Amino acid sequence: MFRTTITLFAIFVLTISAAWAGPGHDHGDEGPAPVTNAAPRLESVGSTMELVAISEGHRLIMYLDHPDTSEPIEGASIEVSGEGIPVALAKPVEPGTYELEADWVDQPGAKALVFTITTKTDADLLNGTWSVPEAGHAAPSDGAATPLVQILTRPDILTMLAGALALGFVLAFALRARSRQKIGRDDDDAPTTKASATKSIHLRSAAELILIAALVGFAIASPALAGPGHDHGDGGHDEAPAAAGGITPRKLPGGGVFVPKSTQRLLGLRTTPAATASSARTRELIGTVVPDPSSFGQVQAPMDGQIEVSERGISYAGQKVQAGEVLALLSPSIPVADLGTMQQLRAEVDGKLIIAEQKLDRLTRIASVVAKSQIDDTKAELAALREQKRVLEPKDTQKIALKAPVSGIISVANVRAGQVVTARDTLFEIVDPEKLWVEGIGDAGHGEGAIMAAQALDGEGHSLKLSYVGRSPTLRQQATPFLFRIEDSHPELVIGSPVKVFAQSDSTTQGIELPLAAVVRGNNGIPQVWIKESPERFRPAEVKTQPLDGERLLVLAGIKPGDRVVTSAAELINQIR
Amino acid sequence: MKKYTALILGTVLALASPAFAEGEHSHAGKHGGKIVETGHHHMEIVAKDGSLEVYLAHEDGDAEDVKDAKAKATILSEGQKQEIELVPDPANFLKGTGTFKAAKGTTIVVTLTMPGHKPEQARIKLD
């Protein structure tokens, strides 16, 4: 019967243990996982200010920031007061950092502090409890370590203990009653064995009581310490976590990170509250910088010949030229066959010229007997022959000037002095760097709407404003070329350089606009943003994004409006291990 | 022995059930004020022009005896800061008077020290 009782009791005990260990039994502090800090730390958040206080010896260092943007608040006056603490004004040490030197800062004990903060435009009251651990103890930080006394004084544990006591009493009473009854029975049967029987029964009872007590003890001890947030053991005695310190950024168990204010200041961390906006649907195209067709000129050799230096030398790539400017001279070369024909013609003209001269000479001498018309004809013939001779003079000295067709900068110059070129050789190319276009290659998707606006991002990260020129109706390599004019070109932009084109159509999508730098890649490759949960805690959130332009993107899912998203130094927070 | 078994069962059940029933605190102020949880207590702060009343309750909703409580309120109203002492009222609440206005944006920090306890604080902003 005893055994049955004990077995039953053991089952009950285990049932209680299981029930206690269930979810929801978290009597640690509400909120995120605790951060073990060696030094006391205080956080207080108002609607327009957030304050984090830490200590360095006697000095209380306060960081004052805007809760939404994380910008340091400069020029504030912070008055610190509290029970048994002289009212004192903190002095600014750095923008947004204030300092107060007082003896109470490192004196053990808990002090309720009130911070009266006044800025030029705003005033607020912030508060917090400043707990300095007793010497020789690690910090009682956020319920990470729970001393045994604290566990025992918790109401649930007290209830448990009281219950166990009552139960123990009831059991002891029950067992005692039974043993007396049994002894009574033994009395009648054999008085000689009375003493030994009594002794053995007492022993059995005692053993069972000890067993029950042990089970009860176990039942109390195990669930009470099993709850999350009760890291029993490394609280008051273990020095290692305390040495880890509270001023280094680190990863928290939940995947978030702890970034102390000092580090945030160093990284220039800023946040912005997410707000839903309606933005044009955008798609990204691969683009190349091309010259504007109307300000792109080529100089080709009109005929075979040899390049000669013009008065101002031969033009070179990078030279600025005006339309009509002579870039080089071309002296045409005459084929050998043509040369022979010309020499033959020249000899013939020479001969005719001599005959005509002699004829004129004769006629002039007998002018009185010949008709005046005959002399005039011969004179005309002579003049014609002289003109023929002049035309047939060797052409070696005649040169063709190669002129710039458009104004701009010479981008290609394939010309050397003395170089022999053939007709149609491209000698120069001239472009106007102020007038450049971008050719974007994309698929001619259906239902994407007309392109209303576009931006481009070049390799150096410059954003270029584009205006849409048109689209070729012909597929080129399975893609459609889109042409855009660059509205605000910059001198570093070169033809042929690759750019990313963001073309916005007239249809819109809803989402949260964020700067490109806010979205970083998580360990698993999924894009994520960092969200500020409290002044020094940040958590990652995976997001679905869509391109918007060269500087911003649109988050379609993953964060809620009002979430404070880290917009600068997100990449650095992402690196915290 | 049966009746003892029943007794044990009853004890165990009695032990197990009430401990799980906590949670679900009511946040509607009984006195028309704002309720702030301070860790051990629920503090209901009722601010009117020039007067401040603080009602104190346990986590389970029972009123706490405030006759030995020490409390102070710091009030920032329209850029002016003032501190007022809160004294226990026979009707079991803490009361203080000052010259502040309970306007929108007024911030009140109540610091309460119960005998033998660490100080507790509650901060509210009127709206």
Distance, in Å, from the CA atom of A471 to the CA atom of A59, rounded to the nearest integer, reads: 67
CB A293 within 8 A of CB A405: no
Nearest CA of chain B to the CA of A15: how many Å? 9
Name the residue of chain B whose CA is nearest to A81's CA: B74
pLDDT band at B5, cuts 50/70/90?
low
Task: Write out the two tokens for A454.
Answer: 């576009």
pLDDT of residue A396: 56
> Which residues in chain A are closer than 8 Å to B74, comparing Cβ atoms?
81, 114, 116, 125, 127
- The kind and range of the H/E element at A82 are strand A77-82
Q: Give the count of alpha carbons within 13 A of A103, CB side only.
A: 3
Q: Does B6 touch chain A (CB under 8 A)?
A: no
Cβ–Cβ gap A127/B109 under 8 Å: yes
Please tell me what DSSP assigns to residue A294. G
Q: Which of A114, A170, A220 to mutate to test the interface with B (most CBs of B within 10 A)?
A: A114
* Residue A126 region by backbone torsions, left for phi larger than 0, else alpha for psi between -120 and 50, else beta: beta
CB A19 within 8 A of CB A212: no
Give the pLDDT mean for B16-25: 39
- Environment class of residue A71 by beta-carbon count within 10 Å: exposed (0-12), middle (13-18) or buried (19+)? middle
Nearest CA of chain A to the CA of B33: how many Å? 19
Task: Write out the two tokens for A78.
Answer: 């912070």
CB A419 within 8 A of CB A402: no
Distance, in Å, from the CA atom of A552 to the CA atom of A573, rounded to the nearest integer, reads: 20
> Which residues in chain A are closer than 8 Å to B9, comparing Cβ atoms?
8, 12
pLDDT of residue A357: 92
Name the residue of chain B whose CA is nearest to A5's CA: B5
Cβ–Cβ gap B121/A127 under 8 Å: yes
- The pTM assigned to this predicted structure is 0.59
Distance, in Å, from the CA atom of A323 to the CA atom of A403, rounded to the nearest integer, reads: 8
pLDDT of residue A442: 78
pLDDT of residue A544: 92
Give the closest of B5, B19, B118 to A156, CB-based.
Answer: B19
Beta strands A463-471 and A480-486, pairing class: antiparallel
> Which residues in chain B are closer than 8 Å to A82, comparing Cβ atoms?
111
Does the pLDDT value for residue B13 go beyond 60? Answer: no
Match 């927070």 to its residue by tokens. Answer: A573
Cβ–Cβ gap B81/A116 under 8 Å: yes
The size of the A-B interface in CB pairs under 8 A is 106
Report, as ranges of residue numbers, the positions in chain A whose pLDDT lies below 50.
10-11, 13-37, 138-146, 179-180, 182-193, 223-245
pLDDT of residue A271: 94
